[in-house]
């Protein structure tokens, strides 16, 4: 049967790196009979230029009907002056909201060939393979009230509100345990129960889901600040880290830098499972942005985009062996000394975006 992938390349280097993911999709179809059918549409600044919105209703319809969405990157200086609700990021936010993408998965994996390019010592990160799970649709980024109030006496008061409800913490906790079950069976939950009511609530809810539904797995708790310290000092002690929207934003960016370049980091955002088909809505994208400083030069690193495709195979289609093959091809390409400029090292062969895609495709 056909598997429908919506490709949203976006702006800047987005189309350049998406073209490399398409090479891999073609190979998977030809050699592994994966049956992917792709459609491509505009998002971000390029969609705004075309139709006045960062994503059109027609494209939203395609996204809602697709089995998975592959997203490049959006934004750039060209659209800096655009109204808030039409700016390129609005396209991504609309997708997250309508697809109810509540779980953001950010793996931090250290490829052996790059272990010396990290800011940390080789033994700290060699073999690192952890997954940060960030709650993406709740918490302080969305809670009401959210306002700046003029107090009238030359003073103002700014308010953001951290809110979590039971169902929100339960579903992200379940996602964490389900992911841990396919890995090393350990979840570390991070919050600030010492100073925040939402932290106490988060801790109690995750603990209950563990006891009632996943007692065979290991659950540990860390205060988010101390957890951040441990993440840098001894990252290999973790398997799956689950945390709220704000702490997850910070901890996943910190974890990203354990392993080196932004051009290497994939991500997945998963939504609710459809009741009829059981399939989760999902969007896969590199962590980096549209890199306007290098766009149009054919030098961007396509690995984050290609590794996002590997996550798509794994989490949307349960194609473990294909996902493993793709990840292994990336690792082998690096092992063979083939590098884009951002990860270039002495004695390696410097290549452009398309050659990097070809090298991975070959392997
Ligand atoms: P950025 O991630 O686009 O770039 C940061 C630095 O990393 C740049 O020097 C860039 O050249 C380099 N870089 C990023 N990806 C690379 C790759 N694949 N290969 C080689 N080098 C790479 O972040 P920046 O510069 O802060 O933002 C640029 C634009 O992207 C802005 O408009 C921003 O709003 C947008 N953005 C979009 C995101 C998305 O679509 N999800 C996420 C982050 C930023
Ligand atoms: Mg961030």
pLDDT tens-digit series, residues 220-237: 999 999 999 999 999 999
Domain ranges of the chain: 1-102+262-363, 129-257
Parallel, antiparallel, or unpaired: how do β-strands 266-273 and 186-191 relate?
Answer: unpaired
Q: Which of 144, 212, 143 is nearest to 173 (CA)?
A: 212
Residue % of the chain over a pLDDT of 70:
99
For domain 1-102+262-363, which CATH number applies: 3.90.1150.10, 1.10.10.10, 3.30.565.10, 3.40.718.10?
3.40.718.10
Tokens 């306007």 -> residue: 292
C-alpha of residue 249 to centroid of ligand 2, in Å: 5
192 counts as catalytic: yes
pLDDT band, residue 114 (cuts 50/70/90): confident
What average pLDDT does this structure show over 323-328? 96
CB proximity list for 49: less than 8 A, separation 6 or greater:
none
Please tell me the predicted confidence (pLDDT) of residue 258: 85
> Ligand 1: which of 87, 290, 339 to mutate, most ligand atoms within 8 Å of CB?
290
CATH code of the domain occupying 129-257: 3.40.718.10
* Tokens linked to 101: 């993408």
Phi, psi of 65 (to 5 degrees): -90, -15
**Residue 300 near ligand 1, beta carbon < 6 Å:** yes
ipTM of this complex prediction, to 2 decimal places = 0.98
Q: What is the dihedral of CA 57, 60, 65, 67, to 10 degrees?
A: 160
Query: To 10 degrees, what angle do helices 245-256 and 224-233 make?
Result: 10
Q: Which of 126, 18, 109, 36 is nearest to 322 (CA)?
A: 36
What average pLDDT does this structure show over 181-185? 95
249 counts as catalytic: yes
pLDDT band, residue 124 (cuts 50/70/90): confident
Element (H, E) at 350: strand 349-350
Residue % of the chain over a pLDDT of 90:
86
> Ligand 1: which of 262, 296, 357 to mutate, most ligand atoms within 8 Å of CB?
262
Chain-centre distance of CA 325, in angstroms? Answer: 20
Ligand nearest to the Cα of 304, by number:
1
> Ligand 1: which of 256, 289, 343 to mutate, most ligand atoms within 8 Å of CB?
289
Q: Among the options 192, 281, 284, 342, which is catalytic?
A: 192
Strand, coil or helix: 253: helix
Q: How many residues does the chain have?
A: 363
Q: Among the options 49, 50, 116, 225, which is catalytic?
A: 225
225 counts as catalytic: yes
Element (H, E) at 243: strand 240-243
pLDDT tens, residue by residue, 47-104: 999 999 999 999 999 999 999 999 999 999 999 999 988 999 999 999 998 999 999 9
Specify the higher pLDDT residue, 278 or 133: 133
**Residue 304 near ligand 1, beta carbon < 6 Å:** yes
The model carries a pTM of: 0.93
Q: Among the options 98, 160, 249, 358, which is catalytic?
A: 249
In ligand 1, the atom with minimum distance to the C-alpha of 300 is 19
When the pLDDT of each residue in the chain is averaged and rounded to a whole number, the result is 94
């Amino acid at each position: 049967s056909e598997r429908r992938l919506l490709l949203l390349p976006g702006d800047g280097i987005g189309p350049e790196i998406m073209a490399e993911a398409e090479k891999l999709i073609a190979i998977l179809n030809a050699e592994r009979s994966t049956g992917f059918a792709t459609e491509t549409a505009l998002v971000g600044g390029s969609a705004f230029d075309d139709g006045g919105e960062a994503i059109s209703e027609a494209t939203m319809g395609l996204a809602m009907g697709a089995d998975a969405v592959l997203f490049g990157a959006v934004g750039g200086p060209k659209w800096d002056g655009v109204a808030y609700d039409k700016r390129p990021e609005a396209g991504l936010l609309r997708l997250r909201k309508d697809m109810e993408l509540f779980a953001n998965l950010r793996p931090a994996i250290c490829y052996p060939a790059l272990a010396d390019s990290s800011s940390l010592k080789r033994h700290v990160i060699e073999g690192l393979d952890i997954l940060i799970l960030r709650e993406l649709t709740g918490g302080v980024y969305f809670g009401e009230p959210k306002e700046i109030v003029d107090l009238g006496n030359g003073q103002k008061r700014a308010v953001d509100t951290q809110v979590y409800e039971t169902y929100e913490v339960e579903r992200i906790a379940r996602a964490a345990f389900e992911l841990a079950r396919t890995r090393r069976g350990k979840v570390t939950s991070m919050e600030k129960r010492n100073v925040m009511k939402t932290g106490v609530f988060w801790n109690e809810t995750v603990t209950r889901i563990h006891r009632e539904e996943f007692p065979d797995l290991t659950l540990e708790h860390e205060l988010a600040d101390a957890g951040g310290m441990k993440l840098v000092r001894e990252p290999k002690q973790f398997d799956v880290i689950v945390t709220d929207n704000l702490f997850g934003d910070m901890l996943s960016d910190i974890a990203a830098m354990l392993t080196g370049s932004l051009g290497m980091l994939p991500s997945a955002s998963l939504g609710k499972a459809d009741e009829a088909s059981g399939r989760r809505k999902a969007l896969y994208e590199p962590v980096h942005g549209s890199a306007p400083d290098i766009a149009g030069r054919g030098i961007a690193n396509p690995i984050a985009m290609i590794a996002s495709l590997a996550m798509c195979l794994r989490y949307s289609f349960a194609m473990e062996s294909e996902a493993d093959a793709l990840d292994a091809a990336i690792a082998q390409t690096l092992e063979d000394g083939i590098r884009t400029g951002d990860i270039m090292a002495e004695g390696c062969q410097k290549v452009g975006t398309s050659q990097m895609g070809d090298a991975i495709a070959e392997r």
